[in-house]
Homo-oligomer: A and B are copies of this chain.
Amino acid sequence: MRTRLAMAFAAIVIAATPTAAQDMLVEKLVFELPEYTTVGGQTIRNVQVGWEAYGTLNAAKDNVILITHYFSGTSHAAGKYAPDETVPGYWDAIIGPGKAIDTNKYYVISSDTLVNLGTGDPRVVTTGPATIDPATNKPYGMSFPIVTIRDFVEVQRALLDSLGIQKLHAVMGASMGALQAYEWAAVYPERVERVIPVIGAGWADASLIAWLNVWAAPITLDPKWNGGDYYDSEPPLEGLAEALKVVTLHAQHWEWANANFGRTWAEVGKDPAKSFDNLYKIEAVLDGAGAGRAKISDANHFLYLVKANQLFYAGHGPELYSGLLAIDGPVLIIHTDEDLVFPPEAVRETAAVIGADGTQVEIVELQGTRGHLDGVLSIAQAAPQIRAFLDR
Contact = CB atoms under 8 A, between A and B. Distances in A.
Contact of A207 (B205, B254, B343): B254
Interface residues of A, number: 55
Given A238-B221, A254-B345, A274 B146 contact: yes
A7 interface: no
A206 B261 contact: yes
Contact of A210 (B249, B264, B307): B249
Given A218-B218, A221-B221, A249 B205 contact: no
Nearest to A275: B146
B206 A320 contact: no
Interface string A180-215: 000000000000000000000001111101110110
Interface string A7-34: 0000000000000000000000000000
Interface string A243-265: 00110010000110110111110
B209 A263 contact: yes
B221 A310 contact: no
A390 interface: no
A311 interface: yes
A206 B276 contact: no
B207 A310 contact: no
6 contacts: A148-B273, A206-B254, A206-B264, A207-B254, A210-B283, A223-B223
Given A207-B257, A218-B242, 18 more contacts: A146-B275, A204-B263, A205-B258, A205-B263, A206-B261, A206-B280, A206-B281, A207-B254, A209-B261, A209-B280, A210-B280, A210-B283, A213-B279, A214-B249, A218-B221, A263-B313, A272-B311, A280-B310
Top 3 closest A-B pairs, CB basis?
A207-B254, A206-B261, A207-B257
Interface of A: 40, 142, 146, 148, 203-207, 209-211, 213-214, 217-218, 221-223, 238-239, 242, 245-246, 249, 254-255, 257-258, 260-264, 272-276, 279-283, 286, 303, 307, 310-311, 313, 320, 340, 343, 345-346
